[in-house]
Structure 1
Amino acid sequence: MLVELLSQPFTGQLGNRLIDLLDSGKYHTLNILVAFAKTSGVLRLKSAIEKFRFSGGKVNVIVGVDLGGTSHEALTSLLINTDSLAVVHSEKIQTFHPKIYHLEGAGGDLLIVGSNNLTGGGLWTNFESSLIVQTKDSEESSDALNSQLRDYRKTLFRLKNSFLNIGNQSDIDTLLHNGYLLKEVDAQVRLANAARKRGTSKRLFGNGASAPIPQISATKPKSSANPKPTTAAPASPPISPVSPLDWQTIWFETRRMTGGSRNILDLSASSLVTRGDPTGTPFDLGDPKFMRGSVVFFGVNPSSTSQTKDIVLNFEGTDYEGNTILYPSGASANGTWRLQIKGNSSTNQKITDAFKLKGPGHFLVDKIVAFTKIDDSYYLLSVYADTELSRFETASKILGNNGQTSQARKIGLL
Structure 2
Amino acid sequence: MELLNQPLSGQLGDRLIELLDSTDYQTLNIIVAFAKNSGVLRIKDALEKFRRRGGTVNVCVGVDLGGTSHEALTSLLLHTDSLQVVHAEKGQTFHPKIYYFQGDEKSLVIVGSHNLTGGGLWTNFENSVIIPVCRSREDEVELQKGVDDYIGALTSLKKLSMPIGTQPDIDKLLENGYIFKEVAEQVRRANSITQEGGRSRLFGSGVPAKLPRVATSNDEPERSTQPTPLSVPHGDEGQTIWFETRRMTGGARNILDLSKKSLIESGDPTGTTFALETTEFMRGGVEFFGLNPIAIEETKDITINFEGVDYTNNTILFPKGKKANGSWRLQIKGVTLSGDKITEAFRTKSKEYYLVKKVIAFTKVQDDYYFMSVFPDSELENFRAASHIVARNGSTTTAKLLGLL
Q: TM-score, normalised by structure 1?
A: 0.93
Q: Contact (CA 8 Å) 2:304, 2:314: kept in 1 or not?
A: yes
Matched, 1:281 2:272: yes
Per the alignment, in what secondary structure is the counterpart of residue 206 of structure 2?
A: coil
Please give the alpha-carbon distance, in whole angstroms, between the structure 2 residues aligned to 1:47 and 1:69: 23
Please give the alpha-carbon distance, in whole angstroms, between the structure 2 residues aligned to 1:195 and 1:146: 44
Give the match for residue 191 of structure 1.
189
Give the match for residue 224 of structure 2.
none
Distance apart, 1:221 and its partner CA: 6.6
Distance apart, 1:247 and its partner CA: 6.5
Per the alignment, in what secondary structure is the counterpart of residue 118 of structure 1?
A: coil
Give the match for residue 140 of structure 2.
142
Correspondence 1:370-389 to 2 at 5 A: 370-389=361-380
Farther off after superposition, 327-336 or 10-19: 327-336
Q: Contact (CA 8 Å) 1:42, 1:77: kept in 2 or not?
A: yes
Q: Contact (CA 8 Å) 1:244, 1:374: kept in 2 or not?
A: no
Change (3 A) 1:219 1:301: farther
Please give the alpha-carbon distance, in whole angstroms, between the structure 1 residues aligned to 2:295 and 2:261: 13
Distance apart, 1:293 and its partner CA: 1.0
Distance apart, 1:133 and its partner CA: 0.5
Give the match for residue 12 of structure 1.
10
Cα shift readout 1:44-70 (whole Å, capped 9, x = no counterpart): 001111111111111000000000000
Please give the alpha-carbon distance, in whole angstroms, between the structure 2 residues aligned to 1:321 and 1:380: 12
Q: Contact (CA 8 Å) 1:323, 1:341: kept in 2 or not?
A: yes
Give the superposed CA RMSD: 1.4
1:390 to 381, 384, 395: 381
Please give the alpha-carbon distance, in whole angstroms, between the structure 2 residues aligned to 1:124 and 1:86: 24
Please give the alpha-carbon distance, in whole angstroms, between the structure 1 residues aligned to 2:279 and 2:127: 42
Matched, 1:268 2:266: no
Distance apart, 1:177 and its partner CA: 0.3
Structure 1 residue ranges, 4+ long, deviating more than 3 angstroms after superposition: 241-247
Please give the alpha-carbon distance, in whole angstroms, between the structure 1 residues aligned to 2:66 and 2:314: 31
Give the match for residue 225 of structure 2.
none
Per the alignment, in what secondary structure is the counterpart of residue 20 of structure 1?
A: helix
Correspondence 1:146-157 to 2 at 5 A: 146-157=144-155
Say how many residue pairs are matched.
394
Give the gaps of 5 or more residues in structure 2: 221-229
Q: Contact (CA 8 Å) 2:218, 2:303: kept in 1 or not?
A: no
Per the alignment, in what secondary structure is the counterpart of residue 51 of structure 1?
A: helix
Please give the alpha-carbon distance, in whole angstroms, between the structure 1 residues aligned to 2:238 and 2:276: 16
Please give the alpha-carbon distance, in whole angstroms, between the structure 2 residues aligned to 1:83 and 1:33: 14
The amino acid that maps onto 1:216 is V
Distance apart, 1:407 and its partner CA: 1.0
1:347 to 313, 332, 338: 338
Correspondence 1:1-400 to 2 at 5 A: 3-220=1-218, 243=232, 248-400=239-391
Please give the alpha-carbon distance, in whole angstroms, between the structure 2 residues aligned to 1:282 and 1:132: 41
Identity %: 58
Per the alignment, in what secondary structure is the counterpart of residue 337 of structure 2?
A: coil
The amino acid that maps onto 1:192 is A
Please give the alpha-carbon distance, in whole angstroms, between the structure 2 residues aligned to 1:26 and 1:335: 56
Give the gaps of 5 or more residues in structure 1: 223-240
The amino acid that maps onto 2:288 is F
The amino acid that maps onto 1:155 is A
Per the alignment, in what secondary structure is the counterpart of residue 14 of structure 2?
A: helix
Distance apart, 1:346 and its partner CA: 2.1
Per the alignment, in what secondary structure is the counterpart of residue 134 of structure 2?
A: coil
Change (3 A) 1:265 1:244: farther
Distance apart, 1:243 and its partner CA: 4.0
Distance apart, 1:201 and its partner CA: 1.3
Please give the alpha-carbon distance, in whole angstroms, between the structure 2 residues aligned to 1:325 and 1:55: 36
Distance apart, 1:348 and its partner CA: 1.2
Please give the alpha-carbon distance, in whole angstroms, between the structure 2 residues aligned to 1:138 and 1:273: 67
Per the alignment, in what secondary structure is the counterpart of residue 372 of structure 1?
A: strand
Cα shift readout 1:30-89 (whole Å, capped 9, x = no counterpart): 100000000000000011111111111110000000000000010000001000000000
Distance apart, 1:288 and its partner CA: 2.6
Per the alignment, in what secondary structure is the counterpart of residue 322 of structure 2?
A: helix
Per the alignment, in what secondary structure is the counterpart of residue 256 of structure 2?
A: strand
Q: Contact (CA 8 Å) 2:210, 2:231: kept in 1 or not?
A: no
Distance apart, 1:361 and its partner CA: 1.1
Give the match for residue 402 of structure 1.
393
Q: TM-score, normalised by structure 2?
A: 0.95
Per the alignment, in what secondary structure is the counterpart of residue 188 of structure 1?
A: helix
Per the alignment, in what secondary structure is the counterpart of residue 180 of structure 1?
A: coil
